[in-house]
């Protein structure tokens, strides 16, 4: 049932209004495209200077020189895709204050749209302080965020090849998924390797099981009697090779992430870390990093708090949250603002005195996007805690509510570190 809002009583009262004034007189606006960057700065009297540039590296340096000549100190830019990243980083390194503006939050004016008018409009709004920058963590965490997002993409790309292996085995009536709990476990990969090497004897294949495997060698042997059709063996071979390839790439990516951690700032002494709970230590996830304890030390050294000890968190989630959110929680005025950025806050919109139909905040995947709005991180918060408490018979609640608990612990922990530091 729609919720009815409170009526606004008709009153007539003089309210103070100081008008609108420029708060950023040295502001510039940019509209960034795939082949051209249009910039606008304040000109003489009531004019604006507009200039178009290319997007080569030499052009980016020219833009910085041009902005410096006109006394610009802060730049607001709008872009689609990732075209904004090179110019953003170039100007940021030269000391300009850079704001990335979401096209969804940028008010539009009536009339035909052009890059020149967009740049002028962005410069006008920014000079009056009417634009709000999209969230971006500290600059030294950007490299870590890029690598962690790439690692997540490698895991996503590896998953279909596991399904292709299972499908090829089932089409040959090789019931490996019933014989072992995980076809990509030690026993499963050992058996698949033997099959690809030409072994067809189910008895010999059954002896390749790990000693701790639940099923006996005889039971596994009966499940591994198949038709061995050549076309399915070919699919199995290629899928297995792709799985191995992506696994090797993930290992290489983990090594690069470790090198990136070593080069990050040292803000806190990690000291002796308390041991993780038995449930977290017993995790059999194949996607978690191998150097979990080393990563915990790095996270504690950077943020001053061990987020992996929070209920619902692990090492993987902790480093994802740190790279996406950063350690400066002062960018969020309160916990409620943080929840809203994560997409965990409910939407209560009222129009015409009646409540509109409530819809969950749209969560979007931040990996590969031009900027992160935190939606997928909010889902990660909720799903992380739900996995943690789902084994408890008394567990109840929604993913968003549980995500709020995780987000609350995160923001309070990081905020305490900020206050103490």
DSSP 144-195: HHHHHHHHHHHHHHHHHHHHHHHHHHHHTT--HHHHSS-TTSHHHHHHHHHH
3-state secondary structure of 40: strand
CB 148 within 8 A of CB 320: yes
Residue 371's pLDDT is 28
Residue 301's pLDDT is 87
pLDDT tens across 36-62, in order? 999 999 998 889 999 999 999 999 999
421 residues of the chain, pLDDT tens digit each: 455 555 556 567 777 777 778 889 999 999 999 999 999 999 988 899 999 999 999 999 999 999 999 999 999 999 988 999 999 999 999 999 999 998 877 777 676 678 899 999 999 999 999 898 888 888 888 899 999 999 999 999 999 999 999 999 999 999 998 888 889 988 899 999 999 999 999 889 888 888 878 888 888 888 898 899 999 999 999 999 999 999 999 999 999 999 999 888 776 777 777 777 766 666 667 788 888 888 888 888 888 888 887 777 778 888 888 888 888 888 888 888 877 777 777 766 766 666 666 554 444 444 323 223 344 455 455 554 444 434 433 344 444 555 666 666 666 666 664 433 3
Residue 365's pLDDT is 40
For strands 37-42 and 97-101, give the pairing. unpaired
Residue 415's pLDDT is 64
Q: DSSP per residue over 225-277, as a string? A: -----HHHHHHHHHHHHHHHHHHHHHHHHHHHHHHHHHHS---S---PPPPPP
CA atoms within 13 A on the CB side of 317: 26
Residue 153's pLDDT is 94
Residue 209's pLDDT is 86
Residue among 270, 179, 178, 262 nearest 216 (CA): 179
CB 233 within 8 A of CB 196: yes
Please tell me the distance from the alpha carbon of residue 345 to that of residue 338, in angstroms, as a whole number: 9
Residue 69's pLDDT is 95
For strands 74-79 and 97-101, give the pairing. parallel
Residue among 377, 374, 371 nearest 99 (CA): 371
Query: Could you give the C-alpha distances from 249 to 156, 253, 292, in angstroms and in order?
Result: 12, 6, 18
CB 413 within 8 A of CB 307: yes
Q: How many C-beta neighbours within 10 Å does residue 51 have? A: 15
CB 311 within 8 A of CB 400: no
3-state secondary structure of 208: coil
pTM over 0.85: no
3-state secondary structure of 56: coil
Sorted by sequence, the CB contacts under 8 Å of residue 404 that are 6+ apart come out as: 339, 344, 381, 382
Residue among 380, 256, 367 nearest 317 (CA): 380
Residue among 226, 213, 99 nearest 172 (CA): 226
Phi-psi sector, 137: left (phi>0), alpha (psi -120 to 50), beta = beta
CB 363 within 8 A of CB 343: yes
Residue among 76, 81, 59 nearest 118 (CA): 76
pLDDT tens across 139-186, in order? 888 899 999 999 999 999 999 999 999 999 999 999 998 888 889 988
Q: How many C-beta neighbours within 10 Å does residue 167 have? A: 14
């Amino acid at each position: 049932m729609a919720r009815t809002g409170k009526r606004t009583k008709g009153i007539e009262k003089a309210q103070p209004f100081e008008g609108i004034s420029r708060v950023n007189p040295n502001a510039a606006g940019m509209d960034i495209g795939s082949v051209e960057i249009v910039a606008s700065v304040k000109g003489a009297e009531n004019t604006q200077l507009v200039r178009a540039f290319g997007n080569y590296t030499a052009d980016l340096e020219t833009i910085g020189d041009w902005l410096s000549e006109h006394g610009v100190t802060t730049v607001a830019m709008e872009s689609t895709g990732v075209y904004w990243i090179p110019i953003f980083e170039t100007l940021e390194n030269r000391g300009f204050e850079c704001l990335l503006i979401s096209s969804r939050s940028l008010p539009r004016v009536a009339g035909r749209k052009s890059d020149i008018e967009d740049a002028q409009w962005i410069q006008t709004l920014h000079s009056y302080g009417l634009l709000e920058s999209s969230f971006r963590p500290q600059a030294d965490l950007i490299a870590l965020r890029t690598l962690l997002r790439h690692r997540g993409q490698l895991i996503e790309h590896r998953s279909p090849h596991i399904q292709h292996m299972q499908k090829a085995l089932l089409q040959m009536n090789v019931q490996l998924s019933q014989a072992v709990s995980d076809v990509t476990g030690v026993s499963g990969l050992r058996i698949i390797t033997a099959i690809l090497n030409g072994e067809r004897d189910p008895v010999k294949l059954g002896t390749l099981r790990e000693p701790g495997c639940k099923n006996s060698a005889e039971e596994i042997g009966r499940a591994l009697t198949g038709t061995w059709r050549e076309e399915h063996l070919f699919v199995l071979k290629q899928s297995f090779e792709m799985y191995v390839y992506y696994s090797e790439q993930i290992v290489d990516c983990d090594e690069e992430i470790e090198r990136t951690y070593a080069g990050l700032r040292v803000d806190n002494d990690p000291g002796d870390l308390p041991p993780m709970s038995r449930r977290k230590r017993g995790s059999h996830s194949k996607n978690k990093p191998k150097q979990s304890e080393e990563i915990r030390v790095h996270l504690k050294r950077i943020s001053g708090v061990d987020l992996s000890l929070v209920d619902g968190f692990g090492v993987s989630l902790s480093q994802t949250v740190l790279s996406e959110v950063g350690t400066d929680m002062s960018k969020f005025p309160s916990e409620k603002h943080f929840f809203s950025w994560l997409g965990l806050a409910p939407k209560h919109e009222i129009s015409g005195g009646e409540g509109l139909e409530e819809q969950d905040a749209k969560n979007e995947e931040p990996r590969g996007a031009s900027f992160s709005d935190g939606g997928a991180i909010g889902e990660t918060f909720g799903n992380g805690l739900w996995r943690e408490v789902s084994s408890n018979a008394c567990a109840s609640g929604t993913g968003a509510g549980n995500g709020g608990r995780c987000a609350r612990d995160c923001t309070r922990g990081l905020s305490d570190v900020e206050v103490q530091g």
